[in-house]
Amino acid sequence: MTPDQSKLTRRTFGVGAAALGAAALFTPAQARAEGAAAAQVPAFPGAEGCGMYVSGGRGGDVYPVTTLADSGPGSLREAVKGSNRTVVFKVSGTIYLKSRLDISGSNLTVAGQTAPGDGICIAGYPTRIAGQNVIVRYLRCRMGDIAGVTEDAMWARRTQDVIIDHCSLSWSTDEALSVYENARVTVQWCLLSESLTMSVNPEGRHGYGGIWGGENVSYHHNLIVHHTSRTPRFAPRSAAGPDIALKVDYRNNVVYNWGFNSAYGGEDSAGINMVGNYYRSGPDTLAEVRDRIVEPTVSTLGGPGSWYVADNHVDGFPQVTADNWLGVDGDVAITRLTAPVTFPQELPAESAVVAFERVLAGAGAILPRRDSVDARVVQDVRQGTGRLINSQTEVGGWPELRSTTPPADSDGDGIPDAWETANGLNPQDPADGKAVGADGYTNLERYLNSIGRTGAANPDVRLLQPTGDALVTTSGATAKVLLVAEAAGRGVPLARVEFRAGDKLVGTVTSRPYRLEWKDAPEGTHYATATAVDATGTATTSTALPVHVNRATTIGEWKAVDVGSTPIRGAASLVDGVMTVKGSGAIGGTADRFRFVFRPWRGDGEIVARVESIRKVYPEVVGGVMIRSNLGPSASFALMQLTYFGSGMVSRFGTRVSDGAEAQTLQYPDVPEDASVATPYWVRLTRKGGTVTGAVSADAQTWHEVGSGAVELPELIFVGLAVDGRKESNAIANYGTVRFSGISLG
């Protein structure tokens, strides 16, 4: 199946010689007469790289998946336990797992393209490939956070002879796809997107692309989008791993919107080729790494490795495109190879620019059709939109995958009757499905390789209102939000546009103009999307845009102001004794940007507040109490805050000792797991003369002093609550939301 399918037609099973090539179909008797197939037959047409000759379930039995249940007869779990088989699907939809799915069978093919309807998605728990000689094609593994586990969407470790082709991996809580410490493996034409950043991972911020490695392994034509780092991390074997080298052919991949790092690792590598890849930074990419191709590292796993880095395109950085070594960061004394490492199965040469278009057209589970999630991600790459996410709910959640009636297969050989009849086979004879011809393929494989794409090209859709980070103010508990989209089908009319807030359907519009009023949007931050669905059922979801609904109330004797130039205007409300403060920007350096709810104060005293909750939007978002010399951005201050950092929550005492000085911070505990700091938690600042002391408490009775220091403060100071959004050197503005109670001055 060619990965670049610009002409999309409805699925057809009538395939003749023109579609199948010169080799004709054959009966079992003809197969026996022709003898054994050639020793090396590609897993399927288009299989390339070091795993291209994996045979999978060729010639074995057929196991049909007939249910979306987690387990039991006819389930995918039951199907992949066995060996020497090809797994086909008689149903489409999402399989919500109750535990990890282990593909433990060997000599196994999983043919996701056979699902009748919209295809198969695996959700809830990870999928692990543990068997050997395995082909996995056209599956979606979108794990999500609903089970609360820390896992990859799909992984394979310490196995051999595997090819993963045209799979879509997303919404993991660790890496999207990790395939390392293996031998003779290919990962090709896969789409890795949106691993979850601030989710359930106990290490805190995560959201990584993948850990890749092994000996004689190929990774090509994959699309890697919206990950904080590890795009990928090249990993050598661990001490307990198999005795294999790190030897990787990494070519023609497209990487978009990495966060604080792109690719790194490669310790003790025998050779890593990074050739012909396309890099496009995005809204989350930090300024200091926008031109980065890779950061070779050393660690306890090994010393400097050997690298060949050439012909990569770094969008927006022509000097790095011209000299790729300018995009190799770090001070590790690697071996710079002057020629690529050779492999038993070499990948054909292709320019990064050509690969970019082919990958966007063909990566992921495009059979039986590309779903609305992948269509959105591809649209993000083209338009330079999208962002890192913390939950799948922010982008609409799992789309509905409709199932249609599977084609009749009277003899149960995995081949529809209509296809057998059209191609001279007997729909009552199961043996002809296993028959092998001179080209080495069985009739079942020929059918699998003939399956085409259903529906039309994914429609176009864009959310016009609300705009990104729009603010809506309400005096009550809910607000009205106008949702407006523009959308168009590609060659077929649109059936409807669905508007969502998070993963909740707000409403559906069936004709232009595509606009809808969300009448009861509750206070908080929501992510709005529009999904365009055409007459064939093919869909695309728009980029999710955050909208912030803020409640307007009086706040008593307090006043609220944005200190410095904030990217999103802050807010404050007081309801039932709880002060909700929202802010953006960042406190630190020599100038601050944040939301400050304050009162003027003279002389010595203290401020105490209980931090009820901090919205887990980004690491190191500030929520705490502050004493400040003035309302200018460079004012001296003392701050006692709570924040998410590393594997948990910590408290920090921060100061700027004089106007314009660099801010300093003391942290308790040094490592989050060393002490239990979790909201609700009390924070306190005490001013006595020229000294300010910060402390925290679980119960407002027993206090732990976090830090103390001299700060230049005038007699008249400003005391209050401070919230920021931990703004970094990228295009994303986070909106911190912190709830306080028990606020007192004295």
pLDDT digits (tens, 9 = 90+) for 487-536: 999 999 999 999 999 999 999 999 999 999 999 999 999 999 999 999 99
The Cα-based distances of 29 to 17, 427, 481, 547 in angstroms read: 20, 16, 68, 66
- Whether 137 is catalytic is no
Residue/partner pairs of 310-313 with CB below 8 Å, 24 or more apart: 310/274, 310/275, 310/340, 311/275, 311/276, 311/351, 311/352, 312/274, 312/275, 312/276, 312/277, 312/278, 312/279, 312/352, 313/277, 313/278, 313/279, 313/351, 313/352, 313/353, 313/356
List the catalytic residue out of 230, 376, 595, 684. Answer: 230
Determine contact, residues 353/255, Cβ cutoff 8 Å: no
Distance in angstroms between the alpha carbons of the first and the last residue of the chain:
74
What is the band of 9 on the pLDDT scale with cuts at 50, 70, 90? Answer: very low
Rounded Cα–Cα distance for residues 503 and 28 (Å): 51
Residue/partner pairs of 509-518 with CB below 8 Å, 24 or more apart: 513/484, 514/484, 514/485, 514/486, 514/487, 515/465, 515/482, 515/483, 515/484, 515/485, 516/482, 516/483, 516/484, 517/480, 517/481, 517/482, 517/483, 518/480, 518/481, 518/482, 518/483
Rounded Cα–Cα distance for residues 277 and 313 (Å): 6
Q: How many helices (H) and strands (E) does the chain have?
A: 8, 51
Determine contact, residues 75/65, Cβ cutoff 8 Å: yes
Q: How large is the average pLDDT for residues 615-625?
A: 97
Rounded Cα–Cα distance for residues 341 and 307 (Å): 9
Confirm whether 61-393 and 457-550 share one CATH topology: no
Strand order, beta sheet including 127-129 = 101-103, 127-129, 154-157, 177-180, 211-212, 233-234, 263-265, 294-296
The Cα-based distances of 441 to 105, 446, 463 in angstroms read: 21, 7, 47
Bridge partners of 721, per DSSP, are 597, 625
Rounded Cα–Cα distance for residues 532 and 529 (Å): 10
511: number of Cβ within 10 Å: 9
Determine contact, residues 214/208, Cβ cutoff 8 Å: no
DSSP letter string over 497-545? EEEEETTEEEEEE-SSSEEEEEEEEESEEEEEEEEEEETTS-EEEPPPE
Distance of CA 557 to the CA centre of its chain: 45
Share of residues in the chain with pLDDT > 90 (%): 91
What is the band of 239 on the pLDDT scale with cuts at 50, 70, 90? Answer: confident
Amino acid of residue 276: G
Closest CA to 129 of 66, 192, 178, 67: 178
Provide the pairing of β-strand 278-280 with 313-314: parallel
Rounded Cα–Cα distance for residues 604 and 609 (Å): 17
Q: Structural domain boundaries of the chain?
A: 61-393, 417-450, 457-550, 553-745
Rounded Cα–Cα distance for residues 334 and 305 (Å): 5
User: Residue 661: helix, strand or coil by DSSP?
Assistant: coil
Rounded Cα–Cα distance for residues 281 and 288 (Å): 11
pLDDT at site 671: 76
pLDDT at site 1: 33
Rounded Cα–Cα distance for residues 496 and 508 (Å): 7
Distance of CA 643 to the CA centre of its chain: 24
16: number of Cβ within 10 Å: 12
Whether the per-residue pLDDT at 562 is higher than 50: the answer is: yes
The Cα-based distances of 701 to 489, 552, 682, 683 in angstroms read: 64, 33, 10, 11
pLDDT at site 39: 64
| CATH number assigned to the domain with residue range 553-745, chosen from the 4 options 3.30.420.10, 3.30.565.10, 2.60.120.200, 2.120.10.30 | 2.60.120.200
| CATH of span 61-393 | 2.160.20.10
Q: Cβ contacts of residue 183 below 8 Å, gap of 6+? A: 160, 161, 214, 215, 216, 217, 242, 244
The DSSP output letter for 436 is: B
Whether the per-residue pLDDT at 38 is higher than 90: the answer is: no
> What would the pLDDT profile of 564-582 be if each residue is shown by its tens digit?
999 999 999 999 999 999 9
What is the band of 110 on the pLDDT scale with cuts at 50, 70, 90? Answer: very high
Q: Which two tokens stand for residue 211?
A: 């850990």
Region of poorest pLDDT, from 78-82, 200-204, 261-265, 721-725: 200-204
Amino acid of residue 235: A
Maximum C-alpha span of the chain: 101
Domain 457-550 homologous superfamily, CATH: Immunoglobulins (2.60.40.10)
pLDDT at site 670: 81
Whether the per-residue pLDDT at 451 is higher than 70: the answer is: yes
Q: Which two tokens stand for residue 649?
A: 């929550």
> What would the pLDDT profile of 117-140 be if each residue is shown by its tens digit?
999 999 999 999 999 999 999 999
Rounded Cα–Cα distance for residues 669 and 649 (Å): 9
Q: How large is the average pLDDT for residues 653-682?
A: 91
Region of poorest pLDDT, from 190-204, 425-439, 666-680: 666-680
Q: Which two tokens stand for residue 98?
A: 């109750």
DSSP element (H, E) containing 380: helix 372-383
> What would the pLDDT profile of 40-88 be if each residue is shown by its tens digit?
999 999 999 999 999 999 999 999 999 999 999 999 999 999 999 999 9
> What would the pLDDT profile of 395-448 be if each residue is shown by its tens digit?
999 999 999 999 999 999 999 999 999 999 999 999 999 999 889 999 999 999
The Cα-based distances of 45 to 10, 14, 441, 584, 625 in angstroms read: 21, 19, 10, 52, 64
Rounded to the nearest 10°, the torsion over CA 273, 277, 283, 285 is 20
The pTM of this model reads 0.94
> What would the pLDDT profile of 310-360 be if each residue is shown by its tens digit?
999 999 999 999 999 999 998 899 999 999 999 999 999 999 999 999 999
Rounded Cα–Cα distance for residues 675 and 155 (Å): 33
Mean pLDDT taken over the chain: 94
